[in-house]
Amino acid sequence: MTVETLAQDLAVPVLSPATVMQRLRQPDGREWAFLDVREAGEAADGHPFGSVNLPYSRLERDIAQMVPRPATPIILIDGGDGIADRAARALQRVGWRDATVTRGGIPAWEAAGLPLFKGVHTWSKAFGEWVQHHFAPPEISPIDLARAMAGPNPPALVDGRPLNEHQLFTLPDALSCPNAELPLRLQAMVGEGREVVIHCAGRTRSIIGAQTVRDFGLPVRVTALRDGTQGWELAGYRRAGKAERPAAPTPTVDLLDLAKARARAVMKQHSLPEVSAQVVANWLNGDGTVYRLDPRPVDEGTPPAGFRRAPGTTLIQQTDQFVAVKAARVVLWDPLLVRAVFAALWLRRMGIEAFVQTDAPPKDDPHPPATVSLRALPQLSARQLAAHVATGGTVIDIRPSADWRAWRLASGKRALRPSLASMTLQEGAAVALLAHDETLARLAAIDLADAGHAVAGVCTAALHDLTAAGLALDTAPPLGGWQATDLLDEVQFCAGRHSGNLDDARTYLDWESGLVARLQACDLMPWPSRLATPELPLKETGHVR
């Protein structure tokens, strides 16, 4: 293996795209993280399978929770624009010193004939498709479901997404029960022997939810709605819109005991390893990465010291938002056991070394996670920002592009962190930052300082305060329309699929259902490739056109 070195301020090793791909295709059990430091929209337009998107704009803020052990080897990839070099140096400054850059970034990756995958959370989406192929949980088409709902004994519809998504839109008469809560709460919602249809907005969570019901032996007849609410709309039916809808009920004491017993049976059947707090402490004293995750819903309790909240449903759907280090250990703790078993079962099936902690974590964490300290910026009120503008000062808006498109200062400039160093600013100009997140402003200030520009402060004031301070605002699109460079943090891939764009929905569903075949063709399939025969024939096939 050849490793080059860039002769700049700090040495940054470089690997060829082919070498990185070899590591992806031939894992050797050693820890490493493959981080795509482009903005979210760029990564969604095409990224290497197995990479984790951690944009340069928030790199130092999030590195400690994504790569908890500073000694972990990290490989970075960018758009061929040098951002990975800057990211490597930024990581070195805050203590993550084993950072390597993929030579030439994405352009070189493509030039080498290596595959890219569109979309977000591609690992979890592909895994869901593999589950459908491998375990064949029964499916029902939207047309057949509509017929059943109009019949004398309609099935119970259960939305397996988190409650906040369920309240945005769902199927008519659907009940909310996120997938991780199904083993705990479903039996309190529907009668024994009832037919239950699990749905989501697309495919993955319907599949995972239905198979979870089977895994835990819940006494219902379960099917997954193929293609979720998108398939429902493509078939010509209407969703239920935004509304306040109730959460899943709390189980009775008897049902809770039954759920725990089922969870213990699942642990035994699938050889899910349990671990004590003392063993976890020993691991944390060692040289391996340990993620400690609390898989309960966001509104249930407070995570123990050292644990990060990772609701089980979201953890399996968006695994790359919680686990970036390959070959790391993941420890899950739930005082009711059930959600930890759910998460461990699915993570193990993904190939992640997951453990269920069965005793309570210590009240005080003797192994606090690594942290990154950043120099604070002066806080500017709306009136101070107005005074800054009145004296000719420059304002750079680094808020998310969706917020920036809604409104912006008439006199402000727009930039995301990757483009700050190349901005044309008057020499010695006083710069103020407009931001929602002060930490991200601190990161932007580092790059501005490196480019020779001082930052007067950051303003996080709300719209009404800025208006009251007399600042002129724009709400209309700029002349010439939005520039792509201003929207790099906004995912455009099939962005209209949940807002009535049926072409986007078709494209998305075709993309998702084709992931398994694509991975096999690219020699990147991380899971056993045996394809199961569906248990129940489907009367309708394909996506409704």
Q: What is the pLDDT of residues 32-77, one digit of tens each?
A: 999 999 999 999 999 999 999 999 999 999 999 999 999 999 999 9
Beta strands in 319-393 (DSSP E): 325-326, 329-332, 353-357
Kindly report, residue by residue over 449-486, the tens digit of the pLDDT. 999 999 999 999 999 999 999 999 999 887 778 888 88
User: What does the pLDDT read at residue 542?
Assistant: 38
Average pLDDT score over the chain: 94
**Across 167-176, average pLDDT:** 97
pLDDT digits (tens, 9 = 90+) for 255-291: 999 999 999 999 999 999 999 999 999 999 999 999 9
Instruction: Output the six-digit token pair for 338.
Output: 């059930």
> Percent of the chain beyond pLDDT 70?
95
Quick one: pLDDT band at residue 9, thresholds 50, 70, 90? low
Query: pLDDT value at position 369?
Result: 86
Beta partners for residue 13, in sequence order = 5
341-361 average pLDDT score:
98
How far apart, in Å, are the Cα atoms of 278 and each of 357, 367, 388, 532?
Answer: 10, 12, 55, 41
How much is the pLDDT for 219? 97
Can you tell me the mean pLDDT for 146-164? 97
- Amino acid identity of 117? F
How does pLDDT run across 286-339, given as a tens digit for each residue?
999 999 999 999 999 999 999 999 999 999 999 999 999 999 999 999 999 999
The DSSP 8-state label assigned to residue 477 in this structure reads P
**Do residues 135 and 210 lie in contact, with contact meaning Cβ atoms separated by under 8 Å?**
no
Residue 365 has pLDDT above 50, yes or no: yes
Average pLDDT estimate for 530-540:
36
In this predicted structure, the answer to whether residue 239 has a pLDDT above a threshold of 90 is yes
Residue 43 Cα to chain centre, angstroms: 12
Question: 3-state DSSP call for residue 85?
Answer: helix
pLDDT at 412 (0 to 100): 93
By CB atoms closer than 10 A (0-12, 13-18, 19+), residue 55 is: buried
Which pLDDT band, with edges at 50, 70 and 90, does 427 fall under?
Answer: confident
- pLDDT score recorded for residue 532: 38
Mean pLDDT, residues 205-214 taken together: 99
Task: Please name each of the domains of the chain with its CATH number.
Answer: 4-120 (3.40.250.10), 124-245 (3.40.250.10), 261-357 (3.40.250.10), 382-474 (3.40.250.10)
Using the predicted structure, report yes or no on whether residue 341 has a pLDDT greater than 80.
Answer: yes
Q: What is the mean pLDDT of residues 113-142?
A: 98
Amino acid identity of residue 58, one-letter, is R
pLDDT score of 2: 32
Percent of the chain with pLDDT over 90: 89
Q: Check if the beta carbon of residue 507 is closer than 8 Å to that of residue 468.
A: no
- Of the listed ranges 204-213, 242-251, 433-442, 503-512, the one predicted with least confidence: 242-251
pLDDT of residue 288: 97
DSSP line for 115-149: --B-SSSHHHHHHHHHHHHHH---EE-HHHHHHHH
Q: In the structure encoding, which two tokens stand for residue 392, read together?
A: 């000719």
HSE-CB at 107 with a 13 A cutoff on CA atoms is 5
Residue 379's pLDDT is: 98
Quote the pLDDT of residue 429: 79
Q: Does residue 157 register a pLDDT over 50?
A: yes
The mean pLDDT of 183-200, rounded to a whole number, is: 97
DSSP symbols for 386-453 = HHHHHTT-EEEE-S-HHHHHH-EETT-EE--HHHHTT----TT--EEEE-S-HHHHHHHHHHHHHTT-
State how far Cα 256 lies from the chain centre: 30
